[in-house]
Chains A and B, each alone.
Chain A
Amino acid sequence: MWTSVALVFVYGSITALATGLGAIPFAFLREVSPRTLALANAVASGLMLGASFGLMSEGAHYGTLETLVGGAIGAAFILLGEWLLKDREVEFGQLKGAGAKRILLILGVMTLHSFSEGVAVGVAFGGGEKLAALITIAIAVHNIPEGLAISAVMRPQGSSVASCAGWSIFSSLPQPLMAVPAFIFVDTFRPLLPYGLGFAAGAMVLMVFLELLPEAYENEKPRLVALWAALALGAMVLFQQYL
């Protein structure tokens, strides 16, 4: 039993570390112009919408209604977060203002939704080690674009690549932490999965339409925003399909 628990923890940690890999492409991006920022927002929007599609269809396996309820809670969470941060001076490292707020929101969402991914890893172990290894690889690989999405928001605001990678990994730390209790109490946690998956999808979709896209349209032609977002979304969907 305890060797299995240790294994679950190790698998969960692998998925968390994978998130940091998403920051790598940004090591090669030096200067960030408003138009690059707009396209980065478009790409992040596409990735997040694609991830939400994946989460929705995954959640629908367990129950569409539960997933949608989770989605509504996720959307409410973003609105609440925005409302709480509205009149407050937010600092994130050296960053201040709107950019810092956005970073805080995306990190909050990604970190919260990692709880349900951790649960997924833990629950998967209930179905045997082979399935667990498969799910772990799937979640680890799918975490890379999540790190990419976080970095696409953080890096243009002036965060260093190391801090992009560090915070990306941080956002996935709930995975090893949640995988263990989910594995031990697998029957208790399984019904919560669709809510968790829906929560992440709803929160990400709302964030895209509330924050990322409006800013993208301000600095770049809509048809270019649409092009990049659609390509990113397609890449994300393909990526999830091939796993």
Chain B
Amino acid sequence: MTTDPTLTTLLLAGIAAAMAALGALPYAFGASPPRAWVAGAYALPSGVMIGAAYLLGTEGLREALPSSALGALIGVAFIYWTQRFAVSTEKGAAADPVDGYRQLLQGSLHSASEGVAIGVAMAVSLAFGTFLALVLAVHNVGEALGLTEFLSHRGMKVGECAGLAVATKLSQPLLAVATLAILTSVPQLLAAVLGFAASAMFSLVLGELVPTAYRFGARRLIALLLSGSAAAVLFFEDLLL
């Protein structure tokens, strides 16, 4: 692997984005997975993101408390604003071409904060950044599964779903590289960006992913997957880094 941090970031975040295509795979075989699976596909990445947010947050607090708190506040406000574009994921809702653009916009805004998270983790250390990129790659698969479930019910072809899933994730490598570049030249921003990434990911999970998961029932499974995958992130971080 290359040792240039920018190239590594681009490569890893790019792979993470491409992984989203895998989420559409089950649907390619014509099978629509059981509802509990879809609930799990939303819950698993949510837990992973909560674990990652915890790691970023503690890292930020270690750097500088006031600026990471300020960054966190901006993160919460940013996500609150972006969720205005949320599309109704109710099954019966009528398909509307405008919805497609909104989906792309909302998905891209969602991935943007995840890209910032990868970039800022890379700025902390190569190992932490690689770890977070891998974590988010796993999470992209789950999210793409959820997206495909919703879009295929509206009559979209599986290949197109996979394409859209990857497209919404393209802002991950873009913002990861941009964040790393900015932080390399202005390292004073590190704590604030860490706070931003942590709170943005947490708000995304609670405002978007978790409520969608609950819509598919299986409340107990969701709660277990959420807490279990968050704990697994902490465990592996402790083990590997």
- Cα of A92 to Cα of B58 in the assembled complex, Å: 39
Asked if residues A56 and B54 are in contact (CB atoms below 8 Å), the reply is yes
- B86 contacts chain A at the CB level, 8 A cutoff: yes
- Cα of A60 to Cα of B54 in the assembled complex, Å: 13
| Smallest CB separation, A210 vs chain B (Å) | 4
Contact with B along A197-214 (1 / 0, CB 8 A): 000001001100110011
B234's partner among A56, A206, A231, A233 (CB-CB below 8 A) is: A56
- B42 contacts chain A at the CB level, 8 A cutoff: no
- A148 contacts chain B at the CB level, 8 A cutoff: no
- B224 contacts chain A at the CB level, 8 A cutoff: yes
- A222 contacts chain B at the CB level, 8 A cutoff: yes
Instruction: Give the total of A residues in contact with B, Cβ under 8 Å.
Output: 33
B238's partner among A60, A213, A238, A242 (CB-CB below 8 A) is: A60
- A237 contacts chain B at the CB level, 8 A cutoff: yes
Which residues on the A side are within 8 Å of B80 (C-beta)? 223, 226-227
Selected interface stretch from B10-18, B131-139, B200-208:
B200-208
Which residues on the B side are within 8 Å of A226 (C-beta)? 79-80, 83, 202-208
Using a CB–CB cutoff of 8 Å, the interface residues on chain A facing chain B are 53, 56-57, 60, 64-65, 68, 71-72, 75, 79, 202, 205-206, 209-210, 213-214, 217, 222-223, 225-227, 229-231, 233-234, 237-238, 241-242
Which residues on the A side are within 8 Å of B214 (C-beta)? 213-214, 217
- Cα of A222 to Cα of B224 in the assembled complex, Å: 20
- B178 contacts chain A at the CB level, 8 A cutoff: no
Candidate in A65, A210, A229, A234 with the most chain B CB atoms within 10 angstroms: A234
Candidate in A57, A206, A223 with the most chain B CB atoms within 10 angstroms: A223
Which residues on the A side are within 8 Å of B207 (C-beta)? 222-223, 225-227
Interface SS of chain A? helix
Question: Known contacts A226-B206, A227-B207; can you find 5 more A-B pairs with CB under 8 A?
Answer: A56-B54, A205-B227, A206-B227, A234-B69, A241-B61
Which residues on the B side are within 8 Å of A237 (C-beta)? 57, 61
- B72 contacts chain A at the CB level, 8 A cutoff: yes
With A64-B235, A68-B235, A206-B223 in contact, do A213 and B210 touch (Cβ < 8 Å)? yes
| Smallest CB separation, A116 vs chain B (Å) | 18
Using a CB–CB cutoff of 8 Å, the interface residues on chain B facing chain A are 54, 57-58, 61, 65, 69, 72-73, 76, 79-80, 83-84, 86, 199, 202-208, 210-211, 214, 219-220, 222-224, 226-228, 230-231, 234-235, 238
16 sample A-B contacts, Cβ–Cβ < 8 Å, listed by A number: A65-B238, A68-B231, A68-B235, A71-B231, A79-B224, A206-B223, A209-B226, A210-B219, A210-B223, A217-B211, A222-B83, A222-B206, A222-B210, A223-B80, A227-B207, A231-B76
| Smallest CB separation, B149 vs chain A (Å) | 18
Asked if residues A210 and B231 are in contact (CB atoms below 8 Å), the reply is no
Which residues on the A side are within 8 Å of B206 (C-beta)? 213, 222, 225-226, 229-230
- Cα of A214 to Cα of B211 in the assembled complex, Å: 7
- Cα of A68 to Cα of B233 in the assembled complex, Å: 11
- Cα of A68 to Cα of B144 in the assembled complex, Å: 29
With A57-B58, A209-B227, A234-B199 in contact, do A68 and B219 touch (Cβ < 8 Å)? no
Instruction: Look across to chain B and name the residue whose beta carbon is closest to the beta carbon of A235.
Output: B69
- Cα of A166 to Cα of B203 in the assembled complex, Å: 34
Which residues on the A side are within 8 Å of B69 (C-beta)? 234, 238
- Cα of A178 to Cα of B223 in the assembled complex, Å: 31
Instruction: Look across to chain A and name the residue whose beta carbon is closest to the beta carbon of B219.
Output: A214
| Smallest CB separation, A73 vs chain B (Å) | 12
Asked if residues B199 and A225 are in contact (CB atoms below 8 Å), the reply is no
Instruction: Look across to chain B and name the residue whose beta carbon is closest to the beta carbon of A233.
Output: B202
Instruction: Look across to chain B and name the residue whose beta carbon is closest to the beta carbon of A218.
Output: B214
| Smallest CB separation, B241 vs chain A (Å) | 11
| Smallest CB separation, B6 vs chain A (Å) | 31
- Cα of A238 to Cα of B68 in the assembled complex, Å: 10
Which residues on the A side are within 8 Å of B210 (C-beta)? 209, 213, 217, 222
- Cα of A72 to Cα of B232 in the assembled complex, Å: 11
- Cα of A202 to Cα of B211 in the assembled complex, Å: 21
| Smallest CB separation, B30 vs chain A (Å) | 32
With A209-B222, A222-B211, A227-B80 in contact, do A202 and B227 touch (Cβ < 8 Å)? yes
- Cα of A87 to Cα of B84 in the assembled complex, Å: 41
| Smallest CB separation, A63 vs chain B (Å) | 10
Which residues on the B side are within 8 Å of A234 (C-beta)? 69, 72-73, 76, 199
